[in-house]
Amino acid sequence: MEEQNYTSTIMTAEFLAHLRQLRGHMVEVAAMHWTIQGTLREVFSDHILVQTDMGMYHIRIPAIAYVREL
């Protein structure tokens, strides 16, 4: 169990580092049942902030299936 948590922590850290490189860029964020397109404004340890025409969205990291640059 401890090894799995260690691997998960490393993968999350790498994912967050990748997301930080996309700050200010247009992205598509997908979860299990929805996608959203907008500008990635900020990356936090537990969520990201995406700005769309409809407003700002705080999206939790565990909910994200993928993020791609548009």
> Which residue range forms the structural domain that includes residue 37?
2-69
Q: How far apart are CA 61 and CA 53, in angstroms?
A: 22
Rg from Cα positions in the chain: 12
The CATH number of the domain where 13 resides is what? Answer: 2.30.30.100
pTM listed for this prediction: 0.85
Instruction: Convert the pLDDT of each residue in 1-50 to its tens digit.
Output: 455 565 566 678 899 999 999 999 999 999 989 999 999 999 999 999 99
- Domains in the chain, number: 1
Surface-to-core class of residue 8, CB atoms within 10 Å of its CB (0-12 exposed, 13-18 middle, 19+ buried): exposed
Tell me the C-alpha to C-alpha distance, in Å, between residue 66 and each of 2, 16, 18, 37, 61: 25, 12, 12, 12, 10
